[in-house]
Structure 1
Amino acid sequence: MSRSYIPRCRSAWSRSAFALSLAAAGIACTPALAHNDDSDGNKKGGPTVSISDGKVQGYTKNGVNVFLGIPYAAPPVGKLRWQPPQPVGKWKGTLDATQFANTCPQVTELGAFAGPTSTTEDCLYLNVFTSGNSSKKKGVIVWIHGGGNVDGESNDYDGTKLAQGGPDGKETVVVTLNYRMGLFGYLSHPALNSEGHLWGNYGIMDIQAVLRWVQRNIAAFGGDPNKVAVGGQSAGATDTGANVLSPLAANLFNRAIYESGPLPNLPAAATAQTNGQNFAAAAGCPTTSGKPAAACLRDLTAARILQLQGTPNANGPYITGPFVDGTVIPITPEKAWTTGKYNKMPTMGGRVRDEGNFGISITEYFSGPPQVPMTADQFTAAVTRTYSGNAGPGGAPPAYPAGTATAVLNQYPLSAYGNDPVKAYNRVTTDAQKCQADHVLNLWAPQISTYGYDFTYSDAPYYFPKMPGFKPNAAHTIDIQFLFNNWHGGQLGVNLDQTTGMPRDLNQTESKLSDQLVAAWTNFAATGNPNGSGNSPWPKYAGGNASYLVQDIPLSTNGRSSYRATYKCDFWDTVLLYPLQ
């Protein structure tokens, strides 16, 4: 499936508010209506579906009907930048839904993870994958791509296998989407916040617009609007949690999937506003412009915003991501999970065994060429920087008390890891996340049906180049390819064997694990139980010594006490913070 970064304006929308907003922003529209011939690249006679805004024509591949680049909100350009998503105008004729639409603005591509960069704000589009049987009322998975809420795109996620259900699961309607990220998606500034609209968490509002679209339209694709699972990996898991927290998403979905989640905490509103005001000052709004701050911010070019947002391998100082604004996200995760004030639903989630290796691979990738692995001094400096008792940004209190860095270094001496700083740092950065997940799952278990997992398979292909002194093992993001066919990061990612460094696909035994995970995800969408029914092979996380599903070859289970010992959770319980306010 090809990428398309050409603006997706449709001439049939010229009478809508959608088109007026484009015209105000100086964007020219060209027709993108489907024709029943092959001259424009469409597949003759492709499947056509009528939805609330008009007809869409997709194509069929491997028995799955695919509809790409369907607009779910007006382009957030001009005066619609930093506004809640606005409705799409209806179109006449049939919309060409055979190509992916634009990727949302981004700059920090993290080497092979995402990309290419984009400065196109016309990006609020979704994609649908569904089997040809539209008479069934199938479960639905709405999947939110990862990328730290600063990068990534739906283009990399082929939902074919999930739509088919694999050999052991259930046919499912899969929806993927693009949403605003970085400074475009998460910005708090008094001038914007006082305009009388919902503010701050624009990316989360985009996802909620998709969920409302699903409620209106998914039945036309064979989906059941009463069986909607929202899930995502990494930032997608964070955004899933944000919608579970949000009263504005109540009754829009009723299952939640956290892949490299669940959600332990979010920044405070004060942090977001400080970051937003600092960004505005750096951009000269309104210090040097002479315009009101809101108008000045909306007049900035996308390129200028991205210049202040970050670099190809790092975020700048103004990034917040989803935060507790008081309305879209009313309270902190910890307060919600402990008081029960959230949208309750069956939930499944977990993390990979070597989460930290993702960040380590990015650091080494940008260390060269030639690339060099982390040194002992760099290991000590990284731990000290993270867990120091220094004051936070803007005079905020320290995140950790004095002496925490020393305690972490004592808990993870290099000698325990063969004097290999890479292995030691992977454990420091991974174990903290594994224990956060255990903390949240343990809070959920008495309130909702909860299923926890630990992905430990350590030999899957990885899309970064083979680098000295580094082996990915079960790195963050490596499990995505087991659900989405041949997922390989961005356009520079090539899945390589961890030992030979040569390109390869999943082998036969790995494909079996993929079948098992696809069955679990699609069963969960249909029933709220990854087994479909019963408590095997994935036991419910409940009571006494709860169990995790170990996602490895073969599948197995592991008790919570063993999990906690493996990841040193007794230690991390003394370090990790879960703010109630």
Structure 2
Amino acid sequence: MFKISKLRLWARSRPRGLRLSAGAAMALGLMFALGARAPLESAAAGPLVNTKEGPVKGVIGNGVAQFLGIPYAEPPIGDLRWRPPKKHAPWSGVLQATAYGPVCAQSNLFGVFAGPANNNEDCLYLNVFTPNIDPAGREKLPVIVWIHGGGNVDGETPGYDGSKLAAQGHTVVVTMEYRLNVFGWLSHPALDNEGHLFGNYGLLDQQLVLKWVQRNIAQFGGDKNNVTVGGQSSGALNAALSMVSPLAKGLLHRVICQSYCPAPLLPGGYSTPLATAEARGVAFAVAAGCGSGTDAATAKCLRSLTAAQAGALRGNFTAGQGVVDGQIVPMQPMTAFATGQFNHVPLINGDVEDEQNFFLAITEYNSNTNNALRTPPTAEQYLAYVNNTFGTSAYPAGTPARILARYPLNAYATPQLVWDRVGTDASICGQRVLDKILAPQIPVYVYEFADQTAPFYFPKMPGLVSLAYHTSDIQYLFPLWSGGPSPPSIVRYLNNKQEKLSDQLVAFWANFAWTGNPNGQGNSPWPRYTTRPSKPAWLIQKTPASSTMTDAQYAALRNCDLWDSVVPPLP
């Protein structure tokens, strides 16, 4: 039985400023009041939707219809490995879309973050969360396609239950699994010379989902002409890659980057040049026993590897920010943005207050399996980080000394706090470089998520303070998020103040999906980004109330004068 009580938290009200037609309002009212709208006659029967590939039957959960584990591509196995995804063939009968599909092959590299280690290649499935099924396609809600993060090497969708964003924001939310690590981002001359699109297979998977949305989303109550693509971490980077991909033209209409868009001073912020990517691919083939050849026999050998054999080498494979292959990603994203050669759509681009702390937590977690013996960051490690990261030829001579002078160890209570500040300031000031490039061309809204008491899904570790760490904002949009499978991750919940911040973020994201502006009618707490000295430009999201800063104020807070002077050139 579909109970009204399940709607209390996630369907309080539609985002301020949204206009729904009388028909849409009546339909939503009926669904909320009666727990049903045709074809949602009963929760026992389950919602049924006819897609172009065949009928799918979902479930009712958390106030919306959920369709889980819908295959959008043929399994990329055998001869389809390391090829563009192939649209899934139609099926006969009703597909039971009641459970998430398999998680894509990955290793556990990020502590308790991401999906379970596995060798699944048959993993190209998507999920739809909708408050408003309308087979006739009369009520069109904006669509939010969300891409999970994980460095393009791991991650999963089951933690991204889109019910709150769908019910409370009156949007249709789509999430997907896509190929990761070596399965999703391998370049090799033997493969790249076969005459098909190559290298960025994970990105092609995501773009096939966008094409699926064009074919099918109207049947779920969505508007194919109003699609927001968003993501967090590498999911955000991938969303921005589709901004610069000519293959995505017309498939997306707004973009949300949660930590972060591709930008300088960010590890992986520049895409990998093809020659570098292919050299890595050759090294992978040699390690896999396929030799250093570049012919069809080498490609055949690579595809003959079992998933376990290929997966055994994926731990050292860095996917980074995709490959400049010349077709899917025709040039460095920063070049595309600077020259206007991208899909011009409104953008939300933001960070969290203590991005680097997440990576420090991973380092400490991975230092020992015994939590009592885990060691927090040391002064020696901090100094090594600065010298090794910023002492390369990519940066001006003397950059480490300038950083250490601006961020002296003795000015901070612990090495963790100064290390966090350096890594976070560098990445955020790099984002600001991008914001300044894009603002004259498209509407840009920038923010910092600053709830330092956000739930921490790592165990409490010696000497480590959680702060507003990278990934800490995800749970405010996807309430069931806890980093990864539990255990080892720890499930924690938002308190009442955090729930209010969560409601505000959902309203902002939904308003943006509806109109391209995160503000509601007559309510403009979030300014459009500008560098004008007297104008607010940054929204600082925190409890108990958010606030704004001018660009100059924020730049001073983050020492952007230093970081602007050491931006590395494009590779």
**Shorter-chain TM-score: what band?**
0.7 to 0.9
Q: Does 1:529 align with 2:517?
A: yes
1:374, distance to aligned residue in structure 2 (A)? 1.1
Contact 1:74-1:124 within 8 A present in 2 as well: yes
Task: Please list the CA deviations of residues 523-581 of structure 1 after superposition, one character each: whole Å capped at 9, or x if unmatched.
Answer: 111111111446611111135135111111101111111111111110001122252x6
| Alignment CA distance shift 1:465-1:318 (3 Å) | closer
Question: How far is the alpha carbon of 1:371 from its aligned partner?
Answer: 1.2
Alignment length (residue pairs): 515
Closer/same/farther in 2, CA of residues 494 and 293 from structure 1, 3 Å limit: closer
Q: Is the 8 A contact 1:495 1:505 kept in 2?
A: no
> Structure 2 matches for 1:78-117, cutoff 5 A?
78-117=78-117
Residue pairs, 1:278-289, within 5 angstroms: 278-286=283-291
Q: What is the SS of the residue equivalent to 1:240?
A: helix
- Residue from 546, 558, 576 that aligns with 2:549: 558
1:11 alignment counterpart = none
Three-state SS of the structure 2 residue aligned to 1:154 is: coil
Q: How do 1:283-302 and structure 2 match up within 5 A?
A: 283-286=288-291, 292-302=297-307
Q: Equivalent residue for 2:175?
A: 176
Instruction: Supply the distance in 1 between the matched residues of 2:84 and 2:387 (Cα, whole angstroms).
Output: 40
Q: Distance between the aligned counterparts of 2:358 and 2:553, measured in 1?
A: 25
Q: Equivalent residue for 2:62? A: 62
Mapping 1:38-437, distance limit 5 Å: 44-134=44-134, 135-165=138-168, 170-264=169-263, 265-286=270-291, 292-310=297-315, 316=316, 319-368=319-368, 369=370, 370-389=373-392, 398-418=393-413, 420-437=414-431
Q: 1:59 and 1:47 mapped to 2: Cα distance?
A: 6
1:152 positional shift:
0.3
Displacement, 1:329?
Answer: 0.3
Kept in 1, the 8 Å contact 2:161–2:479? The answer is yes
One-letter amino acid matched to 2:45:
G
Summarize deviations over 1:325-351 as a string: whole Å, max 9, x none: 111000112211111100000111110
User: Alignment identity in percent?
Assistant: 50
For 2:285, what is the secondary structure of its paired residue? helix
Other structure's SS at 2:323 match:
coil
The answer to whether the Cα contact below 8 Å between 1:461 and 1:495 also exists between their aligned partners in 2 is no
Shift of 1:221: 0.4
| Pair 1:520-2:482 in alignment | no
Q: Does 1:574 align with 2:555?
A: no
Check whether the contact 1:462–1:495 (CA below 8 A) recurs between aligned residues.
Answer: no
The residue type paired with residue 163 of structure 2 is T
**Is the alpha carbon distance of 1:231 and 1:318 closer, same or farther for their aligned partners in structure 2, counting shifts above 3 Å?**
closer
- Residue 132 of structure 1 deviates from its aligned partner by 3.7
User: For residues 133 and 492 of structure 1, what CA distance do their matches in structure 2 show?
Assistant: 32
Query: For 1:362-419, what per-residue CA distance to the aligned partner results, in whole angstroms no more than 9, with x for missing partners?
Result: 0111122221111111111122111223xxxxxxxx322432222222221101113x
Q: CA deviation at 1:133?
A: 4.9
CA–CA distance in 1 between the matches of 2:296 and 2:288? 12
Distance change >3 Å, CA 504–CA 102, structure 1 → 2: closer
Letter in 1 for 2:193: S
- TM-score when scaled to structure 1? 0.86
Post-superposition CA distance 1:506-539 (Å, at most 9, x none): 1111100000000011111111111144661111
Q: Secondary structure of 2:229's partner? A: strand
Tell me which amino acid in the other structure corresponds to 1:374. P
Q: Specify the SS of the correspondent of 2:139.
A: coil
1:506 to 2:501 alignment: no
Residue of structure 1 equivalent to 2:461: 467
Q: Distance in 2 between matches of 1:355 and 1:287?
A: 39
- Which amino acid is the alignment partner of residue 278 of structure 2? Q
Partner of 1:478: 472
Contact 1:49/1:56 (<8 A) preserved: yes
Distance 2:442 2:468 in 1: 28
Distance in 1 (CA, whole Å) between partners of 2:293 and 2:438 is 50
> Following the alignment from structure 1 to structure 2, what is the Cα–Cα distance between the partners of residues 430 and 94?
49
Contact preservation (8 Å) 1:431, 1:569: yes
Q: Aligned partners of 2:181, 2:331: CA distance in 1, in Å? A: 21
1:173-210 deviation digits (Å, cap 9, x = unpaired): 00000001111111111110110100110011000000
Task: Letter of the 1:386 partner, please give it.
Answer: T
Shift of 1:504: 3.9
Paired amino acid for 1:177: M
Residues 427-455 of structure 1, C-alpha deviations (whole Å, 9 max, x = no match) = 11111111011111111111001111011
Contact 1:140 1:173 survives alignment (8 Å): yes
2:292 & 2:250 partners in 1: Cα distance? 44
**1:160–1:319 Cα change, 3 Å:** closer
- Aligned residue identity for 1:120: N
With 449-458 and 408-417 compared, the bigger mean Cα shift is at 408-417
CA distance in structure 2 between the partners assigned to 1:300 and 1:431 by the alignment: 43
User: For residues 493 and 146 of structure 1, do their structure 2 counterparts lie closer, same or farther at Cα, with a shift above 3 Å needed?
Assistant: farther
Which structure 2 residue ranges, 5 or more long, are not aligned?
A: 1-41, 264-269
CA RMSD across the alignment: 1.9
Q: TM-score with structure 2 length normalisation?
A: 0.87
Q: Hey, what's the Cα distance between the residues in 1 that align with 2:281 and 2:519?
A: 45
